[in-house]
Structure 1
């Protein structure tokens, strides 16, 4: 697993695409941060958390809806095209080691990008901001939330033979999960609304951004990760038949 992780991470860090996405990410989040700081001056008595950081973290999560399919669209496509995936699956590496190694590589790339955004809370620190519990909770929520996007992207890559198609499928599935929140708000049935809201990852992410860590949100994210890893395993296993 570690060899797969190391190889995937090395390939990602040697690709111009990763650095282009980092530049896009920090450029957009920097502009949002600057705009929110200026706008916060108009809200007397409101905190920097509610006026600046919560909207910023929400924007970061939304931005990764578009960036993650680009990061993950080549997870399995190129290896399937070259035939190296079949060789790996026949080796002693093991399918689960391949999946987990690639997943951890993507998460490491995501964490690296998120570390770049730490400059924004640190800038606020010089203005007297000290609520680092909210910041740590929000970043934990971001990692878990973006993990769902990563696994959706990896699953899309496992069932596709083309990078563009993989990226499109990934974005469509991520957007489909987001629509669950709209469906939950539009239904008149309380039980159905609660169920749809629970299935939407962003409804759990909101708790982390507010510093409200809830056990059922951890259960949701861990269940999502396990379920989609199983989907990816089944998808790749079907190539053996």
Structure 2
């Protein structure tokens, strides 16, 4: 039986070169890879030249055959060493990737926690709104004087003064105090209602017409169960008519 081995083909040599290229690593080797590589190199050193050149066969051997066997032996050992380095480096990279993933997860959790804390702080800075009762209308500051009969012609007061006074009381909306002097513009928006400044006194006022002349109907503050009502002449404040109504 012959111990001659075929010489490494160019494809095999290219495969070894690829393994060596993949084994290129600038960072320190993992401890287990370095230990296995040291073992292979130690085996080569301990075996000496026999690790590369097997015992020559009996009889003379051609120089080319010895060189071919040497190249095949070296090629096999280098391929084994390169495979050891590639496998070890791959395991180390997988370990690094796994650790990086854990770091990323923990970093993401820290960012999320920080964001939640910022949201809580921002919510704490916002003043808390007071609850509002159902159906409650927000309070508003009064704007301007009390409403008047805009554009409406002042009503007429007839001889039945008590009946007219009771009928017109809901329309008296212009307030007046003691010593107040009013004009026609204070009582009505009707340009035809011209009333000279008139001392009105306290109560609620309404612009009216009496005997086809402008006048002021004054509802005085209630006194017990009754409320006095007076009809005033424009310009002087003289009482033209008066009556007493039940207090509203």
Q: Normalising TM by the smaller chain, what interval?
A: under 0.3
Q: TM-score, normalised by structure 2?
A: 0.23
TM-score, structure 1 normalization: 0.24
Of Structure 1 and Structure 2, which has the larger fraction of its residues in helix? 1
Structure number with bigger Rg:
2
Higher strand proportion: 2
Higher RCO (CA 8 Å, separation ≥ 6 residues):
1
